[in-house]
Structure formats: C-alpha cells, structure tokens
C-alpha cells in the first residue's frame, strides 16, 4: 500500500537587489583604489589581503571601509538602503554594523568557489563587470539540507548587471564564475551583523 505523503512549504529564502545611484562615480573610485593596490604590490607595499581561499581573486583588507573614504561611503549608502528596504518589507530591522568590507578584483581565470560568510546579511556591489561578465550562483548547501537528485535544482543562477547591488542572508552559500575575459572584474563585498534596539523582544527559551 502506498501512503500519500503531503508536502507544505515553510520558509522561502530570498535575495534582494537594487541599482547603485551614481554608479559611474563609485566605479571610478574603486578602479582607482585597485590600480593603486596593483602598483603598491609591485613595490611590496600593498594592503592586499593574500588569503587565497575560497575566493581565488585579489582582495583588499577586510576593513577597507576604514582605509578608503570611497569604500566607507559606498558601504554607508548600501547599509542605509538595506535598512530602509527590510523595514518596509516588514522585517525586524536592526542597526546594521559592517563587520567586513573589501574589494575583490578578479583577473583572467579567477573565480570564487562555494562558500558563505556566516553573518546576518551580506551584500555585493557589481562595480565593474560589463566586459568581464560574472555569473553568481546560490547553492542549496548552507546548512544540513537534502539535495535534489537533479543537481540544477540545488543551484540558483543570477546574471548580475553592472551597477547592481545584491544582498542576502549571510549564511547563504554562493559562488562566482571565472573571469574569462582579459578585463579586470571589480566587486565590493560587505558583511553586516545586526544590533537590535532595546525595545526588541526576541523569543527566549523560557517556557520550552
Ligand atoms: Fe562571498
């Protein structure tokens, strides 16, 4: 006898996106920072972060928002936009604190393998990708989860537009395709933790 099993969805994951205002201005600023970092590296005086995994690309230091005013301004604009957006969407919107903020630049054949950031929210600004297209993949492997037999349904592909910003749950696994072009690809990433106001009353263990 075959027993009928019912399935109901519980929570559904999302990612959000918006277009960066004054994109050309910010793109130029980030291009300049990357150019300076490349030159500094020639003279062994760079802020480049040489940790090479899981993102097989060049990176500035994790606290780049404290080192470059333009990076701080971009981070601040993104944090404000995310804060307003999630509040309008009905989420308990915390004060977003940037834990890490850095620039990635991908030269030919560099990519990011599957990883996650272990934060409340992560954001990526696709600053220079027009001539070095980037495929961004979300993976169904951020926690213990069943995997579908059809591998494609464990992956959600996003083809971002230059100038767009995406943000998503910071525990969401993701990866980025290799840069197959000769042009440098530049993105900026931010990890946010959340600080809740004193009026926020989270559910406690009491009574369970
Ligand atoms: Fe990442």
Cα of 1 from ligand 1 centre, angstroms: 47
Gyration radius of the chain's alpha carbons? 19
105-149 pLDDT, tens digit per residue, is 999 999 999 999 999 999 999 999 999 988 999 998 866 788 888
Has residue 44 got a pLDDT over 80? no
Rounded percentage of the chain residues whose pLDDT exceeds 70? 88
Tell me the HSE value of 101 on the side-chain side, using a 13 A CA sphere.
24
Q: How far is the CA of 153 from the centre of ligand 1 (A)?
A: 20
144 CA to middle of ligand 1, Å? 19
Interval between CA 122 and ligand 1 midpoint (Å): 8
Are the CB atoms for 102 and 61 separated by under 8 Å? yes
Q: How far apart are CA 66 and CA 46, in angstroms?
A: 15
Q: How far is the CA of 205 from the centre of ligand 1 (A)?
A: 32
Tokens of 57: 């690309």
Q: What is the pLDDT of residue 142?
A: 66
- pLDDT of residue 205 exceeding 60, the answer is no
According to the model, what pLDDT value does residue 50 have?
Answer: 63
Q: Return d(Cα 190, Cα 124) in angstroms, integer.
A: 7
Q: List phi, psi (to 5°) of 191.
A: -110, 130
Please tell me the predicted confidence (pLDDT) of residue 91. Answer: 92
Domain locations along the chain: 16-195
pLDDT given for residue 207 in this prediction: 46
* Low-confidence winner among 11-15, 91-95, 144-148, 162-166 (lowest mean pLDDT): 144-148
CA of 188 to the centre of ligand 1 (A): 10
pLDDT confidence of 201, banded at 50, 70, 90?
low
Q: 60 pLDDT band (50/70/90 cuts)?
A: very high
15, 26 Cβ separation under 8 angstroms: no
Centroid of ligand 1 to alpha carbon of 174 (angstroms): 6
- Average pLDDT of the residues in 176-187: 96
Residue 118 CB: number of other CB atoms within 10 A?
11
Secondary structure percentages of the chain, helix, strand, coil, to 5: 25, 30, 45
Q: Determine the distance separating the centroid of ligand 1 and the alpha carbon of 4, expressed in angstroms.
A: 40
The Cα–Cα gap between 146 and 6 comes to: 17
Tokens coding 27? 């793109």
Residues 39-48 have a mean pLDDT of: 68
pLDDT at position 34, please?
96
Residue 208 has pLDDT above 50, yes or no: no
> Which CATH number does 16-195 carry?
2.60.120.620
151 pLDDT tier (thresholds 50, 70, 90): confident
Q: How many Å apart are CA 152 and CA 158, to the nearest integer?
A: 13
For 97-107, write each residue's pLDDT tens digit. 999 999 999 99
Strand partners for 168: 15, 122
115: nearest Cα among 58, 173, 166, 170: 173
Quickly state the pLDDT bin for 48 (edges 50, 70, 90): low
Give, in order, the Cα–Cα distances in Å from 70 to each of 26, 76, 156.
7, 10, 32
> How far is ligand 1, taken at its centre, from the CA of residue 194, in Å?
18
């Amino acid at each position: 006898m075959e027993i009928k099993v019912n399935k109901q969805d519980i929570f559904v994951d999302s990612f959000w996106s918006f277009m960066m205002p004054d994109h050309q201005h910010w793109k130029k600023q980030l291009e300049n920072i990357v150019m300076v970092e490349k030159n500094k590296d020639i003279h062994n005086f760079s802020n480049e972060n040489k940790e090479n995994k899981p993102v097989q690309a060049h990176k500035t230091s994790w606290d780049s928002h404290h080192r470059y005013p333009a990076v701080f301004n971009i981070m601040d604009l993104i944090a404000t936009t995310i804060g307003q957006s999630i509040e309008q969407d009905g989420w308990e919107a915390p004060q977003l604190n940037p834990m890490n903020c850095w620039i990635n630049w991908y030269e030919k054949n560099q990519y990011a393998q599957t990883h996650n950031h272990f934060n409340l929210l992560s954001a990526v600004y696709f600053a220079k990708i027009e001539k070095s297209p980037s495929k961004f993949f979300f993976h169904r492997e951020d926690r213990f989860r069943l995997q579908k037999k059809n591998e494609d349904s464990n992956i959600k592909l996003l083809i971002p537009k230059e100038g767009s910003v995406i943000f998503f749950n910071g525990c969401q696994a993701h990866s980025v395709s290799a840069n197959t072009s000769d042009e440098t690809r530049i993105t900026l990433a931010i990890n946010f933790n959340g600080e809740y106001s004193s009026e926020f009353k989270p559910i406690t263990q009491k009574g369970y």
